Amino acid sequence: MDDTKHWYRSKTVWGALIAVAASLLQVAGLQLGPDVQADLVELIVTSAGVVGGLLAIYGRIVADSGIRGK
């Protein structure tokens, strides 16, 4: 695997976190079905990408120094 990405862009990480959360919710008496868990993973990964992009744009706008190529 040569490609890398941030942890918050990983469906595997979010799937695992949601599975843990679903287990904890089940202990509390609430149940999330597999289809709801899959939908949550897609929503979170997509949202993380949008938030990351917006933060990058904001960071570039408020930066004190410019970008220079080679």
Of the pLDDT bands very low, low, confident and very high (cuts 50, 70, 90), residue 68 is confident
pLDDT for 35 equals 92
Mean pLDDT for the stretch of residues 44-54: 87
CA 32 remoteness from chain centre: 19
How sure is the predictor about 1, in pLDDT bands with cuts at 50, 70 and 90? low
Question: Residue 2 above 70 pLDDT?
Answer: no
d(CA 30, CA 4): 35
pTM for the whole structure:
0.55
66 vs 21: CA distance, rounded Å: 43
Cα–Cα distance between 37 and 19 in angstroms, integer?
Answer: 7
Per-residue pLDDT, 40: 87
- Determine which helix (DSSP H) or strand (DSSP E) holds 14, and give its type and residue range: helix 11-27
Specify the DSSP class assigned to residue 8: G
